[in-house]
Structure 1
């Protein structure tokens, strides 16, 4: 066998029959791969499809429909647009994401760039963005520009390096706990809506037993499809109300329709004042990327075997890809605000699968869901949605956070980041704790000494001050009025 052949993925990989367990086979697949950065990566030449790839694909499709619907609905509510607009724009966004970026970028051109998903933490700020005179296209374009700058300057990876295991673990614990409790509350609110609150308890209890059993037999990667099936089955069995309403079809593909004065968003094209109004929110949105992207990469590191650095998610490339997807989607008429796709990368890491194969399957499922219409109704049905998010994203985040805070003085940093995140939000908690941790006030004192002045206080201090100024300007500090509002009032 030639040296060139043995140095390739095809030469290094071995068939499943040569391994004692499937887990060993999947580990070897990860260790054999060597993705080509911003060059064509072809199925079977550079990677293969496995049955496990369907798990993150299904979880990602469910998550995508739900999260994009939440963002577009938040805008639509403030702008007085009907529910039909929300459905059509979500279908449009699914096609944009699937065809132009999920399949093309993450599947073929750069398999170390995670899929560009949806910026969930920004949803509560959308009413304030619209009230401040914001425009969805202006917001999207600025998020894309700022994200691209951060990506090409490698600012994302720098911030990741300055974040200790304690800070990152605490952040994962906080996000996991808030996510689990939030979905449980939503599930009970759904069941109470038709006087069957006990159904939520039954669904959650069944999910706990199922998840524990899958952990026992080391098949946790099946949690999303089996959990969704269990939730739907129990809900149907107890007579919970459900009906298919979204019919098959293709959304309007003309960008001028979406950005018309009397069609689509009914806003026309943005003007200069729209960009000025959304600038603070765009900067904050991109600032939220770093802890989010870092958590996703760390989750891969925890679940992947040794010697798999080449297939880990590249934070800077993911930022560049997400920025390009954001600009393209906004110009075409979509309402999504992008980030790293957590409902894809977390289940993929659990299933010990790289990004590429599942990305292509995700794109295909998104296209099917957008055109068929009916799968969108099932994906956003509350029991299916809540259980899929709990077992596919939030419980794994809790487990990863606990694993990262087991050793040394990481618990100090973890406790502070949880405390400060609960006070304001995860962006504040992350930026404050990184500064305190790197200064040596908490956590490992020796670690701060190795970072130098730039890593110890210059970069963390500047990031903390800038983020606090932005959060104060738009009213994110509890009990304090927005500085922008105070400024406009004084004028």
Structure 2
């Protein structure tokens, strides 16, 4: 399926000198783009490269190294695999993501699909998956299959349409606030571990001042590279130890190595029992995609001009790419769990840039980091990592949530989302509040009356019940023992 534009992007382009400021120029670029979904999109014919594209590409590369390392390490610990294995697999995963998916899909084939990133919320569940007899390849294939089914049925976009602004805003506020607190806590713990607690104080204080000034100057898109650079310099000047240890090289590329009995994961290929063990976790992982993808698209809607609908992220297409990326990456030997790439989309939206140009640069940066090795050490160093996540992901999430909850009805729904999410987790909070909101029990009561019976309570009700049952099965409900336990 290809959507050919009636007027070409190239014919409608105007030089920067035609506009009063750079923001107006960037908004014009967004408004004239008309990407071909599942077609061929070429640089300079269908989109251009701008200085602002470097920022989301850099942020995405830092985020990719960090998040994939966290996922693979969460598997490696219970399986007794070494740190060297983690580094090797992360480098392999970055090559898979960059060469097979980021550049190919988001850069050329479908610029309406956000980059396939990493599923952070699943990280705490990985030890339970391993203890329950799960297998990384079985989990990856199950997530890929279920995600593809949700994409084909357009279930992702349907759930997004049934989620009001109040519910979305509350979800963003919770994720932003919790993430912000966790990063500050982690940076402080790192500094205290060195008996240099003052480093965390100075770094965070400088970050607050920098972020406030950039917001005032309407240049928040610079916050990730500038904030990370400032954090690095402050920590080094104050005496924090740092060294490069990851040397240049090429990771193992053969699936037979990674899925060997005595090499790679040292687990061999999965059997039927492995697929049965991971099934509840795979359903939960895919269910968590909808609120995650929804939050990323919101940033485009808040920062793009109103006439830039053609460049907005397509939730179903993003699910399709993430699903295929998950299945292919797992078969090849990677340990990543895919989702929408938040550390790319959020800064890209703030910088008023579309998906494809930054995607190409992200792919190139990931290849360089994976092969060169040394950038991986810099990206995971605590001051650089924590500040990048604070200013590039969690502060923007918090701000976007507040923008969406300005009236009484939306703030009421938002409050319930935060309450329910703090009680269990964001999936529980989102699904329960969506049901209550659509029934008209909270939020805008008139909105519920306008919905069809299917949209008002059948779909939200089934979604909530299924997710509740799965969370009960894996032990995610407070005070209720897991129905599925390790052998």
Contact 1:299 1:349 in 2 (8 A): yes
Distance 2:12 2:451 in 1: 38
Taking structure 1 as reference, are residues 355 and 5 closer, same or farther at Cα in structure 2, changes over 3 Å only? closer
CA shift at 1:408, angstroms? 4.3
Query: After the TM superposition, which residues 9-48 of structure 1 pair with which residues of structure 2 at under 5 Å, given as runs?
Result: 9-48=9-48
List per-residue Cα deviations over 1:69-103 (Å, max 9, x = no partner): 00000000010000000000000000000000000
Distance 1:474 1:17 in 2: 58
1:448 is matched with: 448
1:321 aligns with 2:313: no
CA shift at 1:407, angstroms? 2.4
Contact 1:72 1:336 in 2 (8 A): yes
1:69 is matched with: 69
2:355 is matched with: 355
1:253 aligns with 2:241: no
CA shift at 1:167, angstroms? 0.1
List per-residue Cα deviations over 1:21-78 (Å, max 9, x = no partner): 0000000000010000000100000000000000000000000000000000000001
1:100 is matched with: 100
CA shift at 1:311, angstroms? 0.1
1:161 is matched with: 161
CA shift at 1:6, angstroms? 7.7
Distance 1:484 1:223 in 2: 44
Q: TM-score, normalised by structure 1?
A: 0.98
1:396 aligns with 2:396: yes
Instruction: Report the 3-state secondary structure (helix = DSSP H, G, I; strand = E; otherwise coil) of the residue aligned with 1:483.
Output: coil
1:241 is matched with: 241
Instruction: Report the 3-state secondary structure (helix = DSSP H, G, I; strand = E; otherwise coil) of the residue aligned with 1:409.
Output: helix
Query: After the TM superposition, which residues 426-441 of structure 1 pair with which residues of structure 2 at under 5 Å, given as runs?
Result: 426-441=426-441
Distance 2:123 2:398 in 1: 22
Contact 1:6 1:12 in 2 (8 A): no
Distance 2:85 2:24 in 1: 48
Query: After the TM superposition, which residues 118-137 of structure 1 pair with which residues of structure 2 at under 5 Å, given as runs?
Result: 118-137=118-137
Contact 1:140 1:337 in 2 (8 A): yes
Q: TM-score, normalised by structure 2?
A: 0.98
Distance 2:68 2:205 in 1: 29
Contact 2:35 2:110 in 1 (8 A): yes
Task: Please tell me the root mean square deviation across aligned C-alpha atoms, in Å.
Answer: 1.0
Distance 2:484 2:39 in 1: 45
1:269 is matched with: 269
Distance 2:475 2:171 in 1: 22
Contact 2:73 2:86 in 1 (8 A): yes
2:215 is matched with: 215
Distance 2:254 2:353 in 1: 36
Contact 2:132 2:484 in 1 (8 A): no
CA shift at 1:425, angstroms? 0.3
Instruction: Report the 3-state secondary structure (helix = DSSP H, G, I; strand = E; otherwise coil) of the residue aligned with 1:125.
Output: helix
List per-residue Cα deviations over 1:328-366 (Å, max 9, x = no partner): 000000000000000000000000000000000000000
Taking structure 1 as reference, are residues 428 and 255 closer, same or farther at Cα in structure 2, changes over 3 Å only? same
1:49 aligns with 2:49: yes
- 5+ residue gaps, structure 2, are none
Distance 1:124 1:227 in 2: 28
Contact 1:5 1:11 in 2 (8 A): no
Contact 1:207 1:387 in 2 (8 A): yes
Distance 1:331 1:466 in 2: 28
Aligned length: 484
2:302 is matched with: 302
Contact 2:207 2:387 in 1 (8 A): yes
CA shift at 1:483, angstroms? 1.3
State the 4+ residue runs in structure 1 displaced beyond 6 angstroms.
Answer: none
1:58 aligns with 2:58: yes
